[in-house]
Amino acid sequence: MGKDYYKILGVEKNASVDELKKSFRKLAHKHHPDKKDGDEKKFKEINEAYQVLGDESKRKQYDQFGADFAQQGGFGGGMNWDDFMNATRGGGGFQGGGNFGGIDLGDLFGDMFGFGGGRTRGRGQARGNDVQIDVQLEFREAVFGVEREVKLTKNNACDTCSGSGAEPGAKTKTCGDCNGQGQVRHVQQTMLGAIQQVVTCSKCQGTGQVPEKMCKHCGGDGMVRSESKYKVKIPAGISEGEAIRLSGKGESAGVGSAPGDLYVKVHVKTEKGYERRGDDIHTEIIISYPQAVLGDKVEIETLEGNKKLVIPAGTQSHQKFKLKGLGVPRLHHHGRGDQYVKVIVDVPKKAGRKVKKMLEELGKELKS
């Protein structure tokens, strides 16, 4: 009998059309070549089996004569595999015209790949490109926030016609190419039959209307290339590499389109003496050996100005002290980080006779 199509689809010989379709959908999902673990050979075999069993007359011939009947091979009779794969990838909007061995591909693959027989895709409004621009901030500007003006040249909606493409005051009329539908159908003849693809009308850009007189400034495109300026509020606490989105400030795509977004990406300069780690600031201070031993009160620099720090007696080199709330404002939360001050004890490389004697006496006293 050759290939066992029932076994390939995993169904019984008395399986109903719905059972066949359900099994095929499941297996096609699993083995589709576009999937990471897909198997094109298996996928072809599954389609071959379904082309036969899914067609009532072919199924009867198969049940009687096996896979050697006249239409064996599933994709026989000049079937174009590339056309079929294009169909399963959404390469055309099926309107019931595409028929695969008596099986409506539009209906079959509609649930799997986002389109369906007898259904048209909704009008998707064209959208302009997103744009990114980089700004460089001083260290403290990123910490405390700042307002910046950015300039860029991009495709903007025409000021004269407000992006409509029509000369001001001109009336509009129904688009002759799509008869006001905003969409047109292209029919392609393939071995699958007539496949209809629904696309946005290029003349009216999906609006269904065209101006009786085109805008002289943009030539009817609805957009022009021009310079734009925007004031951007940089929030306190922003970090290197983060971006601020300005909705609708990207490029225009012309008539009937929505503008893209503008992303302002931030780059932060470093500042000597300060190291940022998340929302915390890390600094260092050098103290003398006597200060470390005896303790002292020293002045240190912070982002809020100079502050007094108490050095307790017996402080060790590389010991850290925390100044609460003197770090970076938390961008997405309340409060601020902290400042950590690392103490470096400066031990003289050379000591005079007097200093040596004092240190010797101190050493004896510490041992006693």
Band (pLDDT 50/70/90 cuts) for residue 306 is very high
Amino acid 68: pLDDT = 61
Residue 32's CB is within 10 A of a number of other CB atoms, namely 20
Residue 142 pLDDT greater than 60, yes or no: yes
Strand ranges inside the chain, DSSP E: 99-100, 103-104, 131-137, 146-157, 172-174, 183-190, 193-200, 209-211, 223-234, 243-246, 262-268, 275-277, 280-288, 296-302, 305-311, 320-323, 339-346
Residue of 183, 169, 165 whose CA lies nearest to 124: 183
**Strand 296-302 to strand 280-288: parallel, antiparallel, or no bridges (unpaired)?**
unpaired
What average pLDDT does range 101-130 have in this prediction? 52
Residue 251: its pLDDT value, please?
94
Asked whether the beta carbons of 167 and 211 are under 8 A apart, the reply is yes
pLDDT over 60 (residue 156):
yes
| pLDDT score of 276 | 96
Q: 179: which residues sit within 8 A by CB, 6+ positions away?
A: none
The answer to which of 103-107, 145-149, 283-287 has the lowest mean pLDDT is 103-107
Rounded (5°) CA angle 217-222-225: 70
Which residues make Cβ contacts (< 8 Å) with residue 122, sequence separation at least 6? none
Q: Write the pLDDT tens digit of every residue in 75-104.
A: 443 345 555 555 555 444 444 334 444 444
Summarize pLDDT for 187-233 with one digit per residue, the tens.
776 655 567 778 888 778 777 888 889 999 998 888 999 999 999 99
Output the pLDDT for position 368: 63
Q: Are 110 and 121 in contact (CB under 8 A)?
A: no
**What is the pTM (predicted TM-score) of this model?**
0.58
Domains with residue ranges and CATH for the chain: 5-79 (1.10.287.110), 92-118+171-212 (2.10.230), 120-166+214-271 (2.60.260.20), 275-367 (2.60.260.20)
The dihedral built from the CA positions of residue 85, 86, 92 and 93, taken in this order, carries a sign that is positive
More confident residue, 2 or 155: 155
331 against 119, higher pLDDT: 331
Confidence label for 350 from pLDDT (cuts 50, 70 and 90):
confident
Instruction: Read off the pLDDT of each residue in 291-301 and give the average, rounded to a whole number.
Output: 93
Evaluate whether 147 touches 236 at the Cβ level (below 8 Å): no
Q: Give the pLDDT of residue 189.
A: 67
Q: What is the DSSP string of 186-215?
A: EEEEETTEEEEEEEE-TTTTTSSEEESSB-
From residue 308, alpha-carbon distances to 75, 265, 319, 323 in Å are 85, 37, 17, 10
What pairs with residue 279 in β-bridges?
none
Across 257-261, average pLDDT: 91
Residue 232 structure tokens: 């951007």
What's residue 121's pLDDT?
A: 38
The pLDDT, as a whole number, for residue 123 is 46
pLDDT in tens, 120-133: 333 456 789 999 99
Q: In whole angstroms, how large is the CA radius of gyration of the chain? A: 37
Model confidence at 23: pLDDT above 50: yes
Average pLDDT over residues 1-7: 80
Q: Is the separation of the CB atoms in 171 and 212 below 8 Å? A: yes
- What's the pLDDT at 116? 38
pLDDT digits (tens, 9 = 90+) for 30-76: 887 766 677 888 888 888 888 888 888 888 888 877 766 544 444 44
Q: What is the 3-state secondary structure (H, E, C) of 113-164?
A: HCCCCCCCCCCCCCECCCEEEEEEECHHHHHHCEEEEEEEEEEEECCCCCCC
Contacts of 302 (CB under 8 A, 6+ apart): 281, 283, 323, 326, 339
The number of residues in the chain equals 368
